[in-house]
Amino acid sequence: MNKCVFLDRDGVINKDYVDYVYTPEKFEVLPGVKEALVALKKAGYLLVVITNQSGIAKGIYTREQMHECHQLMQKEFDFMIDHIYYAPWHPTVTESLTRKPGTLMFEKAIAKFNIDTDHSWMVGDKERDLVPAKTLGIKTIQVDNDDSRMADFKALNLADALEIIFG
């Protein structure tokens, strides 16, 4: 079985904006992220991004624009990310089990990559990122935000979370 670090995108990997991140100009990688990803890969972790992209359902941006940002992200990180799962839905438009706090994106990754949930982590900046991970027995780290009592651990950012992951 494989160990994995699941990562939310906006607010963990790149700067989050209220009006969404869907253009290369707004896709700003947070400090220390690439180095943290390198350290996680060297330690044998799979890296899987799990992201809600509700701006697609709302008609704010297209899947193509999101994919352009994901390609940019993969190039920036030398294609270290093993897979990106995204949910293009929003409850005001349509319901979906894939959208966090639903567990389906996680379940797909667990099945596809034979992931050992006991030795895996979820790093997110919002409580809805943590809910599915907790449901599936994955340890959680909340970064950059103090709004949740649900997190197993809290860190300033992804680089800071390495101390927790590596013990």
d(CA 66, CA 84): 11
Catalytic residue among 8, 82, 129, 147: 8
**pTM for this entry:** 0.95
Classify 58 as helix, strand or coil. Answer: coil
Is pLDDT of 92 > 80? Answer: no
Binding site residue list for substrate: 8-10, 16-20, 51-54, 99-100, 126
Residue 91: which pLDDT band, with cuts at 50, 70 and 90? confident
Domain spanning 4-165, CATH architecture = 3-Layer(aba) Sandwich (3.40)
What pLDDT shows up at residue 67? 97
- Is 152 a known active-site residue? no
What pLDDT shows up at residue 149? 84
For the chain, give the percent of residues with pLDDT over 70.
Answer: 99
Strands (E), the chain: 4-7, 46-52, 83-87, 121-124, 139-143, 153-155
For the stretch 11-57, pLDDT in tens is 999 999 988 999 999 999 999 999 999 999 999 999 999 999 999 99
- Is 8 a known active-site residue? yes
User: Is the peptide bond between 101 and the residue preceding it cis, with omega within 30 degrees of 0?
Assistant: yes
d(CA 152, CA 77): 27
Binding site residue list: 8-10, 16-20, 51-54, 99-100, 125-126
Domain-wise residue ranges, the chain = 4-165
